Amino acid sequence: MNQTIALIDDDRNILTSISIALEKEGFKVQTYLDGESALIGLTRTPPDLAVIDIKMPKMDGEELLKKLRKKTSMPVIFLTSKDDEVDELLGLKLGANDFVKKSGGFSIKVLIERIRVQLRKNESNNIEETKNIISHGKLKLDPSQLECEWNGKQLPDKLTTTEFLIVKELAKRPGIIKERSQLMDIAYREDTDIEDRTIDSHVKRIRKKFKKVDNNFSAIETRYGSGYRWNIN
């Protein structure tokens, strides 16, 4: 099956040039001229990888990536028009997988090779993640797709990345109490300005999403004064 690459750039010439080159290499291509239309299109028809220009009108590439990372872990390569370390650092922090600079002799051949590298990495990761699918009772978690099932049913409202990480951390050690500080470390990592109540709000939303498929959902148990645990019953 041909892999699909999404191109998001407000420069029509670049979109056309890259699209033609990718199609010659056997890829299917989706193109978008701005971040807003891309967010809608990528959500409806997820590609295998997205190439996103950082500087765009309406919604720039960094904002688009931030929104995408709440829904998908697909590989993303940023296109940047300048040698800007700040852009690269922020992009990597948001979850970009690679960068290609459009200035200084932009090479479409190099971009295509970088696309192939990321697709191979993602394929390898997916194989590894398949081995790491978490199943406990009615729960099934697929880390490669950030998918969650309860009693054989997909949650109608998909968990955000943060919510998924919290559920995964609780479910992999059923019956073990996880303090709020531990869950904050897992969900937010480098962000130290998070309050305990933020985790409580996430858990409240998680419960609400599970209750849409099971009104009696009670797997996440609150341990007052301690934190939360995945109920082994």
**Which residue's entry shows tokens 């130290």?**
192
| Helix axes of 12-24 and 108-131: crossing angle, nearest 10 degrees | 60
So what's the pLDDT on residue 191? 46
Asked whether residue 75 carries a pLDDT value surpassing 80, the answer given is: yes
CA atoms of 139 and 145, how far apart (whole Å):
15
CATH number of the domain located at residue range(s) 134-230 in this protein: 1.10.10.10
| Euclidean distance between CA atoms 219 and 221, whole angstroms | 6
Closest to 75 measured CA to CA, from 102, 42, 103, 107:
42
User: Given a cut of 50, is residue 227 above it in pLDDT?
Assistant: yes
Could you tell me the residue ranges of all domains in the chain? 4-130, 134-230
Contact 62, 34 (CB under 8 A): no
CATH of the structural domain 4-130, one choice from 3.40.50.2300, 1.20.272.10, 3.90.180.10, 3.40.50.170: 3.40.50.2300
Rounded distance, CA 21 to CA 42, Å? 21
What pLDDT, on the 0 to 100 scale, is given for residue 192?
A: 47
Is the fold of 4-130 the same as that of 134-230?
A: no
Mean pLDDT of the chain: 84
Among all chains, which residue has been given the structure tokens 């056309």?
16
Task: Read off the pTM.
Answer: 0.55
**Does 92 or 64 have the greater pLDDT score?**
64
